[in-house]
Amino acid sequence: MGRVALVTGGTRGIGRAISMALKEAGYTVAANYGGNDAAAEAFSAETAIPAVKFDVGDYAACEAGLAAVEADAGPVEVLVNNAGIIRDAVVHRMSPEQWSEVMRTNLDSVFNMTRLVLGGMRERGFGRVISISSINAQKGQFGQANYSAAKAGIIGFTKAVAQENAAKGITVNAVAPGYIATEMVRAVPAEVINERVLPLIPVGRLGEPEEVARCVAFLASDDAGFVTGATLTVNGGQYLT
């Protein structure tokens, strides 16, 4: 049995690709999800990876969810904070709910899950925490002040927690994807992608979820033991930090 990895939002989109890449690399994987039971059941049937439902924005739910995963699979050694949502609006029209839902699901979640796994990782002297940020954290995005702020928060959190845990064999890193061809992006009309999105990307195409997943698998590996506090940009050259 390989190391145990927990991927939040691991049943769909980029998270699904991460769950599958880690399984392929030999990890024992558990995939969390929030509410889409049908997608989670289909994912588990196809991949044989168990799906565990809990709300990553709720600390007590994370505590119970993690306990269930660890009772089943053993201590979590690799945590991938991937779950995320968007609630877009320009700030002068953004509701407090749109702000707080995004902060809760995209940033509070990263504190919740990381806080809960760190104790065991510190005791065992090994751990990997990898959080999915976004290009929009780095460059900002019209209509996404909530999302940009939450995703930028992940980068600061990553740098601080990396310093706090470096001496304990734990690395803490972020990955910042650009436009990735998930269901949401594929639903955008082809002419919009071809005329407005692709010209922004020097590589000339959208990224694939598997390309993000392979970066996560590298950061989870022993080979990446000297990489910590970093943000790996995976954006086809669209924005160079």
Supply the residues annotated as catalytic. 147
Q: How far is CA 68 from each of CA 6, 28, 61, 62, 121, rounded to the nearest angstrom?
A: 11, 14, 11, 10, 17
Region near ligand NDP per CB under 6 A, out of 7-15, 166-174, 190-198, 220-228: 7-15
Pick the stretch among 53-61, 161-169, 213-221, 225-233 that binds ligand NDP (CB under 6 A).
53-61
Q: Both tokens of residue 97?
A: 């709910």
- Site residues for ligand NDP, window 120-139 (CB under 6 A)? 132, 134
CA-to-CA distance for 32 and 34, rounded, in angstroms? Answer: 7
Residues 6+ apart with CB under 8 A from 41: 51
How many whole angstroms separate alpha carbon 26 and alpha carbon 124?
20
Size of the site for ligand NDP (CB under 6 A): 30
* Cα distance between residue 163 and residue 167, in whole Å: 8
The two three-digit tokens of residue 148, written as one number: 């940009």
For residue 50, the 8-state DSSP code is -
From CA 84, how far away is CA 132, in angstroms rounded? 9
In the complex with ligand NDP, the residue whose CB is nearer, 126 or 180, is: 180
> How far apart are the C-alpha atoms of 59 and 116, rounded to whole Å?
9
The residue at minimum Cβ distance from ligand NDP is 13
Residue 173 binds ligand NDP (CB under 6 A): no
Among 28, 57, 127, 172, binds ligand NDP (CB under 6 A): 57
According to the binding rule CB under 6 A, does residue 112 interact with ligand NDP? Answer: no
Binding flag, residue 82, ligand NDP (CB under 6 A) = yes
**Ranges within 84-103 binding ligand NDP (CB under 6 A):** 84-85
Question: Is residue 236 close enough to count as binding ligand NDP by CB under 6 A?
Answer: no
Footprint on this chain of ligand NDP (rule: CB under 6 A): 8-9, 11-15, 32-36, 39, 55-57, 82-85, 105, 132, 134, 177, 179-180, 182-185
